[in-house]
Structure 1
Amino acid sequence: MRDRALVRLRAWPPGTTIGRSGGRRYMVCKSVFAGGRSVKLVATELGGSDYISLNLYDLTGGARLVPCEMPVARVITFLADLERESAG
């Protein structure tokens, strides 16, 4: 599941987009730094109180996923289920 989560994070478009995960809607903001080697993602549940925040660093030794004050498993589950909401 971790690999699927990282693939989804890397494929998520930069900027702010509406998405769904775990049956909830989120405003998802992705920022990319250092030529794509550093990614920050923040997701705020729309109409709720859930909040996801994480950083991903692509290091020589491999990817390092760093959640912000939450368990890694929670972030991986969120990312693995994250889908962009269709415009229509």
Structure 2
Amino acid sequence: MTEEPDRELDALIGAIPEGWTRVQIAGQGWGITRTTRAGGRTISFDAEHLGNNEYLGANVWNTSEGSVLRPCEVPEEKVMQILRDAAATFEA
């Protein structure tokens, strides 16, 4: 059975600790930042590839109909892949 996208998003963003954390993704350093605002209704997610200029950001809005991912000038799938990779480092 396939997980619904908003439930996957909830699980992934929930696995990322609040604040800034350094993680290894594909053998490379990344700085991951999670900031929760408005009593948990909005979460900002930023990822910076350390040692290079790659950066991506997104907001997650928790609405009455579920979580909504709003990437900032990058494809949604790229944000989801970084979230998957980062979340996996916290599960290990």
Which structure shows the bigger proportion of residues in helix conformation?
2
1:74 and 2:82 equivalent?
no
Q: Helix, strand or coil: the match of 1:75?
A: helix
Q: TM-score, normalization: structure 1?
A: 0.82
Q: Which has the higher contact order (CA 8 A, sep 6+)?
A: 1
Equivalenced residue count is: 85
Which 4+ residue blocks in structure 1 deviate beyond 3 angstroms?
Answer: 1-6
* Maintained 8 Å contact 2:44/2:58: yes
Give % identity: 27
1:12 and 2:16 equivalent?
yes
* Partners of 1:4 and 1:21 in 2: CA distance: 19
Q: TM-score, normalization: structure 2?
A: 0.79
* Maintained 8 Å contact 2:9/2:67: no
Unmatched runs of 5 consecutive residues or more in structure 1 = none
